[in-house]
Amino acid sequence: MLLLIVFLLILVSCSTSTHTFGLSGSHNPIIPIEGLADPTVIQHEGRYYLYPTSDGFGYDVYTSDDLLEWEMAVRAFDHQGPNVWAPDVYFDSSERVFYLYYSADFSIGVAVAENPLGSFEDRGIIIEGAIDAHLFEDEDGQLYLYYEGFADSGSRIVVRRMNTPLTPDSEQILLLEPEGWEIGAAAITEGPWMLKRDGIYYLMYSGNACFTTDYAIGYATSASPTGPFIRFAGNPIVSKDDGLFGPGHHSVVEAPNDELMIVYHQKASTENGLDRFVCIDRMGFDDNGHIGVTPTVLNPNRTAITYD
């Protein structure tokens, strides 16, 4: 019996040490480069790949084994530009192909590769007058492309069903227009990210102007991927606070211990501008199905490098 107890204790200890994921409280930013923003993170074959907005002419890829220690791996995609922002990457497991959705000069294009590091081959523009694409695959295999469209009243979030990762097969459907806290220096809803949990579709997004401290994150829910969506009454769920400026434009990924993590950017100051850093924090659902995030401010002792 004593040997059995010792064995169980060792087993629990090993299990715990294998599945721990520690945030130090001073872990942000996870990449010490000022100017990186709009991060999309995917996990593939045990490794993480992060694609941010950077110089406005293409995308670098950063890699990590644990979501905390990152290194710049390669330049994965170049475009003539300008205004190359907000990448999104989708892996088609049946075709073993990676699709990079890019925003370039206020249009959405697609590039493809057989490796998450690229290099990605451009397949051209698929939607004009739009940015911030995010491709979501539902449980039945149907693909939906969520993105930021434009109107006289400001930017709005819309969706289109996709016939393939390269071809939309329907007209766009309006989901959210700016209201309340989403209206400030500009009227903006953007940066959509879709999650599905217990049959509910969670459309997460950012609102207000990204160059201000009022930029923030909210979400809306629906029983259908095409809406109608109802905003959470407690929005925004991540917003400015003591030392926290302009948090927004995020992706969601599972940590090595299966916890959900939100990867987003924060501004470094209260001044208007694009002084942004990539950050990571815990995210989860309460018993009522509401999303909660525990944001951590930028480490004041960080060593910052300006993106060049």
14 belongs to a structural domain:
no
23 belongs to a structural domain:
no
Which CATH number belongs to the domain containing residue 270 in this structure? 2.115.10.20
Question: Cα separation of 200 and 210, whole Å?
Answer: 28
Question: Cα separation of 175 and 217, whole Å?
Answer: 16
100 belongs to a structural domain:
yes
User: Is 130's pLDDT higher than 90?
Assistant: yes
Pairing verdict, β 71-78 and 58-64:
antiparallel
Question: Cα separation of 302 and 172, whole Å?
Answer: 43
The CA R_g of the chain, rounded to the nearest whole Å, is 19
Range of the domain at 167: 29-306
DSSP string, 95-120: TTEEEEEEEESSEEEEEEESSTT-PP
Residue pLDDT, tens place only, 164-205: 999 999 799 999 999 999 999 999 999 999 999 999 999 999
Average pLDDT for the chain: 91
Question: In this predicted structure, what is the pLDDT of residue 21?
Answer: 63
Question: In this predicted structure, what is the pLDDT of residue 177?
Answer: 96
- DSSP lists the bridge partners of residue 49 as 42, 63
User: Is 151's pLDDT higher than 60?
Assistant: yes
Question: Cα separation of 285 and 260, whole Å?
Answer: 9
Q: Which amino acid is at 232?
A: F
**pLDDT grade for 74, boundaries at 50, 70 and 90:** very high
- DSSP lists the bridge partners of residue 190 as 206
Q: Three-class SS of residue 256? A: coil
Provide the total of helices (H) and of strands (E) in the chain, helices listed first: 1, 23
Q: What is the DSSP letter of 172?
A: -
pTM beyond 0.75, yes or no: yes
Number of domain units in the chain? 1
103 belongs to a structural domain:
yes
120 belongs to a structural domain:
yes
253 belongs to a structural domain:
yes
Q: Three-class SS of residue 13? A: helix
6 belongs to a structural domain:
no
Percent pLDDT > 70 in the chain is 92
235 belongs to a structural domain:
yes
- Joined together, the tokens standing for residue 71 give 């290194």
